[in-house]
Amino acid sequence: MKLLSGFKAFISRGNILDLAIGVIMGGAFGKIVSSMINDIIFPLIAALAGEADFKDLVWNIRQIGVNADNQPIYASMRYGNFIQVTFEFLIIALFIYVFIVQLVKGQARKERKLLEEKQRQEELEKANPKPVVVPEDIQLLQEIRDLLKKESTK
């Protein structure tokens, strides 16, 4: 029972929930970027370069034999998928960088506005100081003191 309540307290913390939301959003963001790359960017590159799919790019290093149908078997390096995955990584990294930069700039702008507002408020308070409100009992004691001083000087 203690383990269950401890787990509930752990999972209910704000940073754990934020992490879970971030993982879910990151997965969805990855799918969006992959779709953009595979469905928009690579077809444009294919139109320019003449290659329809980078995943199928292969460099046959040398023939190492033949199969049962007498077709050559090559020792090959499949570099196309590496190019595609690297390109996806670079685009995801670019989007994250732009997002973080905008987030930091927005936060700095917000903090700067708060600081300016605080400075404006301080300037207003200096220019128009609030009158000091003296409680009635203190005011009565001050009047008695002043009367006693006046009587003692006579």
Element (H, E) at 35: helix 14-36
Query: Going by C-beta distance under 8 Å and a sequence separation of 6 or more, which residues neighbour residue 91?
Result: 33, 36, 37, 41
Question: What digits encode the pLDDT tens for the residues 74-132?
Answer: 898 888 888 878 887 888 788 878 888 898 899 999 999 999 999 999 888 888 877 77
**DSSP-assigned letter for residue 37:** I
Question: What digits encode the pLDDT tens for the residues 27-63?
Answer: 888 788 778 877 888 788 778 877 656 777 888 888 8
The chain-wide mean pLDDT, for the chain, equals: 84
Q: Parse the chain into domains and list their residue ranges.
A: 1-52, 54-154
Find how far residue 152's CA is from the centre of its chain: 73
Instruction: Give residue 116's pLDDT.
Output: 95
Residue with tokens 């708060």: 114
